[in-house]
Structures are given as structure tokens and as C-alpha cells.
């Protein structure tokens, strides 16, 4: 068994009557960083190899959000509920101070952790994230692929909110059933609308294998994590990003058409003191390649904080 495989063994923590499944990679004495996966996704999602984490000095903890993989579903969960789950895992592991990074659908959840666990979070990084669905002065669906607009229930014929949510749930149930049988279907569907830069990323054999692995694990017991994520994004998040008072770095590929860059511009304008990094010639899946750089940024904030203390 390789070192990477040994470090990727599944673990479990109890949250009341629920189970949270998680994985740890990197050195035991590295800076703890919680990685919040995309939508759909799982703890086995694309991440730096163990040798890279050792070089960075980062201990990366990733977990299946409720309803994904081996984590028990939490019906009706909100984005803000991720903060309590991360607190539970941090307590389980004896971690007092940590960083957090969220990619795509994990971005709003990372912001929730930054907002509600501020006494313990050193800094947060959000890669190709989403803004709240009710964000003022933002065309939430503007520039988004047809695949994603359908997953979030945008129709030409406007519906009331309850019907829109019902439509969303049914669409995801159908798609998830197909993807459970063959995860390659999701990659193929996404690839139809990808920018050239995204196609270059997902056509890498190693990254494609990791994507198929995470999609397979995410939906192994049904569509529930995906459904609950999508609903949580479309309703009140349970917190205001403007209340965040810790260092936050937002990164986005300017050509992203899955989570359009306007979402990150909106968020960065409202999180006090945040840093905005936009990259030309890059789109959504560029976040997979940029993750080591963002982990290095988190380490730099920790170093500055330690020096000031």
C-alpha cells in the first residue's frame, strides 16, 4: 500500500445520531486545513498528492457533507450547518486552530465556517464559489451553463419558490440515478459545455480518475447530498458573508461558466478586507490545479499571525 493510500483511509465521527465520514492526508504536524468539496462531491475529491502536502506542511482534512458518501443525511440542512460539522471534527481531532478552503459548492460552506467559527479559523480560501441566490444586484444565473441552470431549477417560465424547489429535486434525482450507474456520464455531460481550459484539466488521466472516484462515492447511496446542497444554495444560507472578520482569499478563473466570476466579485465586495484573485485563461476546473497555491496562502497567513503574537 502506498503512503497516499494509507493516509486516505475513511474515518468516522458522531454528530448526535449522525455519522460524518472524513479522510486525512499530509503530515501529522502540518497546519490543519479543512477542505470542503464541490457539488456533487465527496471527501475523496481531487486534492494534492500526499508528497505535495508534506512539502507544503499541510494536514488536509476532507469530509463527506451530510447525504454524500458515507455521511448520514441531514434533511433540511442549511449552508450554515457546515460550521457545526467542522467544529465537531476539529474537536474529535483535538484541533483548536485551522484553515478552511472550499471549492465550487464547498465555497459557501467554507464561508459559513469562517463566519461562525471565527475564534478557531485562521483564514479561509474560496475557489470558484457561489454567491447567495438572493444576492442583490447580481444576475445569479447570468453566464451559467445550461446544465447548471437546470440543476438549480431556472426555467424560462417563472415558478413560485416551492414549485421551483420541487423541480430542482426531481431533476437531480433523475441525473443522480444515471450517474450512479456510470459516473463517466457526468464528466461527459459537463464536458459538452466546458471551456477549452477546463477540458485540458479534466482530460488529464489522473484528474479524470479522481473526478470519477469522487462522483461515484458521492452518489453511492442516492442523490440526497446533491439535492440538499442545491436546495441549501437556493434558500437563505443562515448567515451573512458580510459578518466575516478573518482573512479570506477568493480565487476565480475569469472564463468560468459553471460558477460565473460575477459570484466571486459580489462576495469579495462584501467580505471586509478580503483578497480577490482572478485568473485569465482559466475556468472552473482550474481550481483543482490552483489548490496547492491556495494552501500555501493559508500557510502564509498562519505564519504572519504566529509572528505577530
Q: How close are the terminal C-alpha atoms of the chain, in Å?
A: 41
CATH code of 203's domain = 3.40.50.1820
| The pLDDT value given to residue 4 | 41
How far apart CA 103 and CA 287 sit, in angstroms, is: 7
Query: pLDDT by residue (tens digit) across 150-193?
Result: 777 655 444 566 677 788 888 899 999 999 999 999 999 999 99
- The total domain count for the chain is 1
How far apart CA 85 and CA 246 sit, in angstroms, is: 19
| The pLDDT value given to residue 159 | 52
pLDDT band, residue 306 (cuts 50/70/90): low
Is residue 249 within 8 A of residue 126, CB to CB? The reply is yes
Q: What percent of the chain has pLDDT over 70?
A: 92
pLDDT band, residue 147 (cuts 50/70/90): confident
Cis peptide before 183 (omega within 30 of 0): no
Query: Mean pLDDT across the chain, nearest whole number?
Result: 91
CA atoms within 13 A on the CB side of 85: 31
Mean pLDDT of 55-62: 97
| The pLDDT value given to residue 9 | 60
Is residue 292 within 8 A of residue 52, CB to CB? The reply is yes
Cβ-proximal residues to 72 (8 Å cutoff; 6+ apart), any chain: 17, 18, 19, 20, 66
Domain that holds residue 102: 3-308
Is residue 152 within 8 A of residue 234, CB to CB? The reply is yes
| The pLDDT value given to residue 53 | 97
Q: pTM for this one?
A: 0.92
Amino acid at each position: 500500500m502506498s503512503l497516499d493510500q494509507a493516509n486516505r483511509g475513511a474515518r468516522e465521527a458522531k454528530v448526535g445520531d449522525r455519522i460524518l465520514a472524513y479522510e486525512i492526508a499530509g503530515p501529522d504536524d502540518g497546519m490543519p486545513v479543512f477542505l470542503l468539496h464541490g457539488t456533487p462531491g465527496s471527501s475523496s475529491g481531487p486534492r494534492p498528492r500526499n508528497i505535495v502536502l508534506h512539502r507544503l506542511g499541510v494536514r488536509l482534512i476532507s469530509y463527506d457533507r451530510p447525504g454524500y458518501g458515507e455521511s448520514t443525511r441531514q434533511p433540511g440542512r442549511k449552508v450554515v450547518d457546515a460550521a457545526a460539522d467542522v467544529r465537531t471534527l476539529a474537536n474529535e481531532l483535538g484541533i483548536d486552530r485551522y484553515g478552511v478552503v472550499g471549492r465550487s459548492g464547498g465555497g459557501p460552506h467554507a464561508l459559513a465556517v469562517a463566519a461562525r467559527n471565527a475564534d478557531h479559523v485562521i483564514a479561509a480560501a474560496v475557489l470558484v464559489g457561489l454567491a447567495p441566490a438572493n444576492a442583490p444586484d447580481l444576475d445569479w444565473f447570468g453566464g451559467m451553463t445550461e446544465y447548471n441552470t437546470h440543476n438549480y431549477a431556472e426555467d424560462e417560465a417563472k415558478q413560485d419558490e416551492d414549485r421551483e424547489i420541487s423541480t430542482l429535486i426531481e431533476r437531480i434525482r433523475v441525473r443522480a440515478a444515471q450517474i450512479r450507474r456510470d459516473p463517466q456520464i457526468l464528466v461527459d455531460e459537463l464536458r459538452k459545455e466546458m471551456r477549452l481550459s477546463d477540458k485540458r484539466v479534466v482530460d488529464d488521466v489522473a484528474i479524470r480518475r479522481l473526478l470519477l472516484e469522487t462522483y461515484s462515492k458521492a452518489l453511492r447511496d442516492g442523490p440526497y447530498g446533491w439535492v440538499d446542497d442545491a436546495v441549501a444554495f437556493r434558500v437563505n444560507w443562515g448567515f451573512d458573508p458580510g459578518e466575516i472578520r478573518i482573512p479570506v482569499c477568493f480565487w476565480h478563473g475569469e472564463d468560468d461558466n459553471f460558477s460565473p466570476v460575477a459570484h466571486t466579485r459580489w462576495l469579495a465586495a462584501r467580505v471586509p478586507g478580503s483578497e480577490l484573485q482572478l485568473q485569465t485563461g482559466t475556468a472552473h476546473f482550474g481550481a483543482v490545479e490552483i489548490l496547492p497555491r491556495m494552501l500555501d496562502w493559508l500557510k502564509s497567513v498562519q505564519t504572519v499571525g504566529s509572528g505577530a503574537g
